[in-house]
Amino acid sequence: MSSTRTEPIVPTASQVARAPKVVLHDHLDGGLRPATVLELAREVDHALPADTAESLAQWFAESADSGSLERYLETFQHTVAVMQTAPALTRVAREFVEDLVADGVVYAEVRYAPEQHVEHGLSLDEVVAAVKQGFDEAVNAADGAIVVRQLLTAMRHQARSMEIAELAVAWRDRGVAGFDIAGAEAGYPPTRHLDAFEYLQRENGYFTIHAGEAFGLPSIWQALQWCGADRLGHGVRIVDDIEVADDGTVTLGRLAAYVRDRRVPLELCPASNVQTGAASSIAEHPIGLLTRLRFRVTVNTDNRLMSDTSMTKEMTALVDAFGYTLDDLRWFTINAMKSAFLPFDERLTIIDEVIKPGYAALAAEGA
């Protein structure tokens, strides 16, 4: 064989860094720069558990590394506390997008819970406007290198989901692409918020639901078959409905078959799952099986600060653990772009004009 063009290319770290990437599941309050947390905390007299950027970064990563989603979530008190004014929200949003651009992300859906940012008197609309301002500043500075949308999250243990769903609809032509629920999963099933999901369906709105992370199949089933979720936040526990026999034969249960047949996007977040105990290591993460079975897998960061991660780190870890090639990374990226809550023509434009040429240029370099 003389041609090398079709040989699989295992990308170098530099190629992963430069590859166009798409993130659908990235929390605004989970991706602050440690130095910014320190500065903003000083301004509002919020006491932090560490006093240098390095030690604070380490504190977040270590505290989040607990094996429990509930304890992982406790660390957010320190980021949410410093995101209570319009200037702070705008700064955090601007830096967040600057960091995405530096990470090679070309399209991002960034989520946060507006109801958590009203402690100092901001209205929900003011919160969304402040975040929009920061995103717009960074997107304009990046000169077309990235497209960013907000997802508005409601906290599943609270009772404001209807209000937040209405907020998402009110802002849908001003940078908000959809809705989500997040927070502790066990004990707070998605059906608790059925009225919000039914409202969004009547409004032709889009939503994803954190489901199948800390709790298993019933949560995924409710999210899809009761609530009508367009995507699953994590959804990793769908593997509980997949049987792999010793001889390698794979049998899908009815729910797993539905998820695969209907191409339900899975917003997988490998590093976060290892921290919360949803997976024991990257190498043992169900993403390997789900990718092999051609589920609609997407790769995401969840919380870059708590999980000490980035899209480049997530993809590099997957390349190291599973030997994924440039074609595999392109497949994850196109899966994500196809699953975005952006109009069809805009999705196609990014796929055809940014993602495909970007990967082609890397492939032309060889490994």
Ligand X SMILES: O=c1[nH]cnc2c1ncn2[C@H]1C[C@H](O)[C@@H](CO)O1
Retrieve residue 125's tokens. 């609309």
197 scored as a contact of ligand X (CB under 6 A): no
Q: Which does 30 bind (CB under 5 to 8 A by kind): ligand X, Zn ion, none?
A: ligand X
Per CB under 5 A, residues contacting Zn ion are 302
Q: Please, which of residues 322-361 interact with ligand X by CB under 6 A?
A: none
272 vs 316 by CB, closer to ligand X: 272
Query: Both tokens of residue 219?
Result: 């949560």
Question: What is the CA angle 348-352-358, rounded to 5?
Answer: 135
3-state class (DSSP) for residue 180 = strand
Catalytic residue status for 213: yes
Q: Return the number of the residue (285 or 330) whose C-beta is nearest Zn ion.
A: 285
* Secondary structure of residue 99 in the 3-state scheme: helix
For the bound state, the minimum distance from the C-beta of residue 79 to ligand X, rounded and expressed in Å, comes to 7
Whose structure tokens read 């992370």? 213
Contacts of 331 (CB under 8 A, 6+ apart): none
Q: Does 73 bind ligand X (CB under 6 A)?
A: yes
Scan residues 173-192 and list those touching ligand X (CB under 6 A): 182-183
State the minimum distance, in angstroms, from the CB of residue 230 to ligand X: 18
Measured at CB, which residue is nearest to Zn ion? Answer: 302
Stretch that binds ligand X, among 23-31, 53-61, 255-263, 321-329 (CB under 6 A): 23-31
- Smallest gap from Cβ 119 to ligand X, in A, equals 13
Instruction: For the segment 89-128, give every residue that binds ligand X (CB under 6 A).
Output: 111-113, 116
Cβ proximity of 307 and 298 under 8 Å: no
Q: Name the DSSP letter for residue 354.
A: I
Q: Yes or no: say if 96 and 28 are a contact pair by the CB < 8 Å rule.
A: yes
Contacting ligand X (CB under 6 A), which of 300, 303, 316, 339? 303
Alpha carbon distance 334, 123 (integer Å)? 37
Residue 29 assigned ligand-binding role:
yes
User: Interacting stretch for ligand X, rule CB under 6 A, among 56-64, 68-76, 135-143, 240-248?
Assistant: 68-76
How far apart are the C-alpha atoms of 134 and 334, rounded to whole Å?
27
Nearer to ligand X, 183 or 205 (CB): 183
Q: How far is the CB of 127 from ligand X (least distance, A)?
A: 12
Strand 250-252, strand 242-244: pairing: antiparallel
Q: Which is nearer to Zn ion, 203 or 308 (CB)?
A: 308
- Is 46 marked within a binding site? no
Tokens of 134: 């920061």
The least CB distance from residue 32 to ligand X, in Å, is 11
- Using DSSP's 3-state secondary structure scheme, residue 7 falls into coil
99 annotated as a binding-site residue = no
CA distances from 51 to 85, 88, 171 (A): 22, 19, 38
Residue 86 has which token pair?
A: 């319009």
Question: Known binder of ligand: residue 234?
Answer: no
* Smaller CB separation from Zn ion, 302 or 328: 302
3-class DSSP assignment, residue 26: strand
From the list 213, 243, 267, 346, the catalytic residue is 213
* 38-72 CB burial, b ≥16 within 10 A, e <16: bebbeeeeeebebeeeeebbebbbebbbbeebeeb
Contact between 313 and ligand X (CB under 6 A)? no
Count the neighbouring beta carbons within 10 Å of the beta carbon of residue 204: 8
* 296: three-class secondary structure by DSSP: coil
Question: Applying CB under 6 A, does 29 fall inside the site for ligand X?
Answer: yes
CA distance 206 to 208: 7
Is 153 one of the binding residues for ligand X (CB under 6 A)? Answer: yes
Contacts to ligand X by CB under 6 A = 27, 29-30, 69, 73, 76, 80, 111-113, 116, 153, 182-183, 210, 213, 272, 302-303
Which residues are part of a known binding site? 25, 27, 29, 183, 210, 302
- Per the annotation, binding residues for Zn(2+) are 25, 27, 210, 302
The residues assigned a catalytic role are 213
